[in-house]
Each structure stands twice: as C-alpha cells, then as structure tokens.
Amino acid sequence: MQYRIYVNGKPFDVVIQAVGETGPEPGTIQAPIQPTIPVQPAAPGPVRTAEERVLSPFPGTVTELPVSVGQTVEAGQVLVVVEAMKMQNDLVAPRRSVVKQILVSKGTLVSTDDVLVVLT
C-alpha cells in the first residue's frame, strides 16, 4: 500500500507491505500517489452547556470555598481548596462557566471522586 506521510510539514511517499509479501525495492515507488486534499481544521464548536462536576482527586478536608452559587468563573479560577497531608491543593475551573451547585462546606471531609462543585 502506498501512502504519503508528513513529518514536520515535509511530505514523504512510503510503501507498506505485509511480511512475506513481495514488492518494490526500498526507496522506489511503483505508481504515482494520488494527491492529497489538505484537511481544514474544524471551526470552534458552540459553548458547552452541559453540567460539569468538579471531583475531589484525593481524600482531604475542604479549607476554602472562594466562590458562590450563581457566580461566573473563568478557566483556572480557584473553586475549592482541599488540604491533604498538610498541603493546600487548589481545584480550579476547567473553563469559563457558572457555579450551579456547591455540595460541600468549609471543614467537610471528602473522599476521592466526591462531587464538590457542579458547573454549567
């Protein structure tokens, strides 16, 4: 089978053959390869509206909740701070969204994969 691959933007024509199959000598092409059609990147999709849950990645204690229900948060903004093994861990918003629900309060003990905040 003949293919055109691109490495760092440079085209290379290659032939791939199964083990035991006879074919062209290395470095030769038997037939011209069909021109390729460049793939256009997809346009950005619509803003997601589905709920997204922020989970605790480990067991610990909630020490801070710097957001409130109904608040718009930006990507990277701290939603919850969980302390585990005397280390403060910031859990941040994955994207721009609105805080729909907060399921913990300061001092809550959480386990791995507990839902802490729901975003829309």
Q: Which tokens belong to 47?
A: 């803003």
In a domain, 79, yes or no: yes
In a domain, 2, yes or no: no
Tens-digit pLDDT profile for residues 32-48: 555 555 656 666 655 55
CATH of the domain at 89: 2.40.50.100
In a domain, 37, yes or no: no
Q: Find the domain containing 86 and state its range.
A: 52-119
Residue 108 is predicted with a pLDDT of 94
pTM: 0.57
Number of structural domains, the chain? 1
Average pLDDT, the chain: 82
In a domain, 44, yes or no: no
Does the structure show a pLDDT above 90 at 101? Answer: yes
Residues 92, 119, 102, 83: what is their CA dihedral angle, to the nearest 10 degrees? -20
In a domain, 43, yes or no: no
Residues 114 and 55: beta-carbon distance below 8 Å = yes
Residue 83 is predicted with a pLDDT of 94
In a domain, 27, yes or no: no
List the beta strands (DSSP E) in the chain. 2-7, 10-15, 52-55, 60-64, 72-73, 78-84, 87-92, 97-102, 109-110, 115-119
Q: Return the closest-CA partner of residue 4 out of 24, 23, 29, 26.
A: 29
- Distance, in Å, from the CA atom of 78 to the CA atom of 11, rounded to the nearest integer, reads 45
Q: Within 13 Å of residue 47, how many CA atoms lie on the same side as its CB?
A: 6
